[in-house]
Amino acid sequence: MAQHDGSYKNIFSYPQMVQQLLEGFVDQHWVADLDFSSLEKTSGHYVSDDLRERSDDLVWKARWKDTEVYIYLLLEFQSTPDYFMAVRVSNYISLLYQDLIKSKSVKKGDKLPFVLPIVLHRGDELWDCVVDINDLVVESAPELVQYKPSQKYLLIDVAAYENEALEAVHNMVSTLFQLENSSDDTAVYLINRLYDLVKNGDSGSRYFCESLFWASQPKQAAKT
């Protein structure tokens, strides 16, 4: 599975794939105001003060109107959803902020940049976990409610999409998601479509094509 996981990470290391993911699967008005030409991949390797590391995710930044937005893309390949993902997301964002402070990208008096955490899950089991850490914290006295942490993540659960919805998006990302859930009868057609989309785009490198191929293999192999 490691090769497939790395291939998926490679795919979303291309800015046009991040753009297609956001435009096709984040149905929110602010996306239209993102300057996708400014997309820049930053380090996804963070070390906390107690020396714990996080290096498996992708972090992009882009201009949104007159400010910068960080897009933290967490790639989840496990078959079983993580009940405490909201806690992990909060921790990762804190690590990102600590890194920005230590590197003096933000200074005293500055506002921290907005971070959009996206969890991209491609397991067979539907994701049924809460998306806000607030919902994981026990209820307490009314006076304490204001101190409850609140941090949501945006979930993109590949297995939750019907084929018709993916057909309507019709880009490289949606076709890749269709391949994830396809049968052998439709796989060849989808692979051909995917490579047509790559050929007609600006990412037709052999490395990119190989990443697309390997990323589509795990579920296909399980069905043969």
- Residue 17 pLDDT > 60, yes or no? yes
Domain that includes residue 6, residue range: 2-161
35-44, 55-64, 122-131: least confident range: 55-64
Averaged pLDDT score across all residues of the chain: 81
Does the residue 16 lie in any domain? yes
Residue 191 lies inside a defined structural domain of this protein: no
Which of the pair, 172 or 54, is modelled with greater confidence? 172
pLDDT of residue 176: 85
Q: What is the pLDDT of residues 49-97, one digit of tens each?
A: 444 455 557 889 999 988 888 888 777 766 678 999 999 999 989 988 9
> How many Å apart are CA 147 and CA 143, to the nearest integer?
8
Within a domain: residue 20?
Answer: yes
Question: How many structural domains are present in the chain?
Answer: 1
- The predicted pLDDT at position 42 comes to 86
Mean pLDDT lowest among 35-44, 157-166, 185-194, 202-211: 202-211
Inside any domain, residue 212? no
**Quick check: is 187 in a domain?**
no
- Structural domain includes residue 35: yes
Over residues 210-221, mean pLDDT = 58
Note whether residue 43 is domain-resident: yes
